Amino acid sequence: MRSFRTWGWLPTVRPTQAIVLAFAAVLAVGTALLSTPAAVQGRSATFVEALFTATSALCVTGHIVVDTPEFWSPFGQAVILCLIQVGGFGVVSLATLLGLLVARRLGLRTRLSAVSETHTVAVGDVRRVLVGVALIALIIETVVALILTLRWIFGYGVGPGEAIWLGVFHAVSSFNNAGFALFSDNLMSFVADPWICLPICVAVILGGLGFPVIMELRRRIRFPRRWTLNTITVVVGTLGLLIVGAVALTALEWSNPATLGALDPAGRLLAGFTASVMPRTAGFNSIDVSQMQPTSWFVTDILMFIGGGPAGTAGGLKITTFAVLFFIIVAELRGDTAVNMFGKRLPRSTHREALTVALLSVALVVASTLAIMLLSPFSFDRVLFEVISAFATVGLSTGITADLPAAAQLILILLMFIGRLGPVLLGSALALTVQKRQYELPKERPIIG
């Protein structure tokens, strides 16, 4: 995509660079607001605490280094909520929508930035897509907030004002896959309450599907044969990962008295399902993650790394990327000359994109894990869990995040920022030029394996 200018004296800026700069600008504002005395209830927040929390909220992660309900004031919690909403919807998409509502017109620069942010196919579709995305987010968050509000009022005797605030905060946090909660133990107090856990799980799943999938399902849910390859892949992958994750985590933790073992069978099934949903990059936890079996951590690592659907509020490698890699392996093992997926043939450029995203992601996780292990005394499995959780913008933790040194927390901040924007997007935004080679080199095959 060609770069473009807004003013003659400004340097050339490409859409991908505009997205990175927009996120960085909002992050700076959020950090400044959380650093003010009005944002805290006790001592002032350090720069790292404010930056970490603002990054976690804007990148819809949920990692925390301080207790959200105890440390942050109502104003600070409101700032976190706004950052979650802006980060989930997309800084550039939100700015585009506001500009559309105010000026009722879009400039080419803004349209191109929004196309990069929302993965819209055509520039002319930006208006329709952004309005549709905003309506979808508003409807889902409103319905979930209403259910949660009524449950806290009639099930727990919470006052209407506080219940509404709790309902809105957790609805926005869940649909945007953020994982921030206004309870010190997150959702552990409601581990066996389906009226709290299930609406939050549904919001997490819908947000993790991605806006293109939600919009297509809204139009063609009764006609699966007409679904696009992206929708088929995300729906099938989501169902498969939810089932596999729920079965594996429930079985592994069934007899663990510190997690599922203390619950009745119905509570264990609900908690196991919730534990399978949250690694889809939500970050809520209804059981104590720090007390889970190491094998359960590893299963959760896999679920977090794969993540949810593209062009949504989820992070991770993305289901579509994982599916493409899987079918590349299948095609290679079968000796096929082309890679086919759900009845469609994949272009070779898709192969390269999937491999690039996967290898960059693995490299970031490996390098960050090694660096944090050198900076902290924690074991490999705990550090790996934290790193994947940050990179995949999940927010689940084995309980060591707050105890990491400042340098290690800065690494997690960088991982959250990169994980939200995507390795390829960030890399292309930082590249100085985009050049197309006008010639091809001689072909030669090295020995593989």
Domain positions in the chain: 15-429
Helix axes 91-103, 108-118, angle to 10 degrees: 140
Judge residue 354's burial from the number of C-beta atoms within 10 Å of its C-beta, 0-12 exposed, 13-18 middle, 19 or more buried: buried
CB neighbours of 297 closer than 8 A, spacing ≥ 6? Answer: 289, 381, 382, 385, 398
User: Rounded CA gap, 444 and 155, in Å?
Assistant: 69
Residue pLDDT, tens place only, 179-200: 999 999 999 999 999 999 999 9
Q: In whole angstroms, what is the distance from residue 215 CA to residue 145 CA?
A: 21
Contact yes or no for 301/385 (Cβ under 8 A): yes
Angle at 387 between CA 386 and CA 390, to 5 degrees: 85
CA distance 373 to 362: 16
Place of tokens 């072909």: 443
Give the pLDDT of residue 215: 82
The percent of the chain in helix, strand and coil, each rounded to the nearest 5, is 65, 0, 30
The 3-state DSSP class for residue 214 equals helix
Residue 178 to residues 26, 39, 74, 287, 292, Cα–Cα distance (Å): 17, 19, 18, 17, 21
Cα–Cα distance, 137 to 203 (Å, whole number): 10
For the chain, which residues score pLDDT lower than 50? Answer: 1-10, 98, 100-103, 432-433
Using DSSP's 3-state secondary structure scheme, residue 36 falls into coil
CB 311 within 8 A of CB 119: yes
* 72 bridge partner residues: 40
For the chain, what is the radius of gyration of the CA atoms? 22
Phi, psi of 340, rounded to the nearest 5 degrees: -110, 140
Nearest 5°: CA angle at 417, between 80 and 366? 130
Tokens for 230?
């992206």
Q: What residue type is 165 in one-letter code?
A: W
Q: pTM for the whole thing?
A: 0.89
Angle value at C-alpha 59, between 229 and 322, nearest 5 degrees: 30
Q: What is the pLDDT of residues 322-368, one digit of tens each?
A: 999 999 999 999 988 899 999 899 988 888 888 888 999 999 999 99
Cα separation, 186 vs 165, in Å, equals 16
pLDDT recorded at residue 102:
47
> Do residues 149 and 163 lie in contact, with contact meaning Cβ atoms separated by under 8 Å?
yes
Separation CA 216–CA 131 (nearest Å): 15
pLDDT at residue number 88: 86
Through-space distance between the first and last CA atoms of the chain, rounded to whole angstroms = 36
